[in-house]
Structure 1
Amino acid sequence: MPSPLEAQAYLPQGNLIVFDGICILCSGFARFMARRDRKAGFRFVDAHSKTGRALYLAHGLDPDLMETNIVLLDGKAFIKLASFTAAMRSLGWPWRVLTVLDLLPTGFGNWLYDRIARNRYRFGQRTCPLPSAELKERLLD
């Protein structure tokens, strides 16, 4: 496992979404974004990959817990609820309306996000994730 400093060598540039590829909610979010993202040009990284783990480390997150998606947009990293709202903001209308969630107090929004993240495998898990064609074209690792 590389250190956070060594992890920098693995970091791709540009707008990225790092997601848990075996979580149905997380991979569904990635497929949703791949279909609708016309402006930001997101590329995608499975959190289980070497690059995904390096990105978790680089942003001070535990790559074994995978408790949040990471959205890297215009050089800024967003985690937890802010990752979702940053992604929705990048899509424009009508999805941008979901940024109303930014009005929640950060502590409460992150608490809510954490409850969903901790229970995400109860919604289902894929043993062999099959990305959509749109996602597969932009999947890095």
Structure 2
Amino acid sequence: MAVILFDGVCNLCSSSVQFIIQRDPEKVFKFASLQSETGKRYQELFKIPASTDSIVLIMDDKVYMESTAALLTASRLNRPWKWFRIFLVIPKPIRDKVYKWIAANRYKWFGRKESCMIPSKESRDRFI
């Protein structure tokens, strides 16, 4: 099992979670928003800075953030998304610069919710 922590009030992030759920038939990933009590416990347990508002992937007791988290997540999805792993050959500072640019503009481009997303009945078991 792998856990993805995400910004629960971000429309892009919430849409990304739904995208992952639809392409993860083996149900590898579980989810928690960074704002939730569970998300905060994971942040404390894995010493993830409280200021983090990026996607966080916790897999095999290791923490991955930003572009690495996104690409490793994609690599566990159905084809063609698993091929995105090839982008890991791009140096992390370059990948993260692009990631941070998108992250810095995500509320402006995609909007923001007043509260965290509520999972559908079909996907509720994927949230911890």
- Regarding TM over 0.5, the answer is yes
Q: CA deviation at 1:100?
A: 2.7
Measured on the aligned residues, the alpha-carbon RMSD in Å equals: 1.9
Specify whether residues 25 and 87 from structure 1 end up closer, same or farther in structure 2 by C-alpha distance, changes over 3 A only.
same
Query: Is 1:95 the counterpart of 2:73 in the alignment?
Result: no
Work out which of the residue numbers 68, 72, 78 in structure 1 matches 2:58: 72
Q: Could you tell me how far apart the structure 2 residues matched to 1:134 and 1:83 are? A: 25
| Cα separation, 2, equivalents of 1:118 and 1:21 | 16
Tell me if 1:62 matches 2:43: no
What 5-or-longer segments of structure 2 have no aligned partner? none
Moved over 6 A (4+): none
Separation in 1 of the partners of 2:122 and 2:60?
A: 21
Q: How far apart are residue 53 of structure 1 and its match?
A: 1.8
Amino acid corresponding to residue 127 of structure 1 in structure 2: E
For structure 1, the residue ranges without an aligned partner over 5 or more in a row are: 1-13
TM-score of the superposed pair, with normalisation by structure 1: 0.78
SS state at 2:58 partner: strand
Identical pairs, percent: 27
Q: Does 1:15 find its partner at 2:2?
A: yes
Return the alpha-carbon distance in structure 1 between the equivalents of residues 119 and 125 of structure 2. Answer: 9
Please say if residues 33 and 39 of structure 2, whose CA atoms lie closer than 8 Å, have aligned partners that are also in contact: yes
Q: Per-residue deviation at 1:40?
A: 5.1
- Equivalenced residues, count: 126
Letter aligned with residue 93 of structure 2? G
Residue 99 (structure 2) pairs with residue 113 (structure 1): yes
Contact kept in structure 1, 2:6 and 2:33, CA below 8 Å: yes
Q: Could you tell me whether the CA contact under 8 Å between 1:15 and 1:40 is conserved in 2? A: no
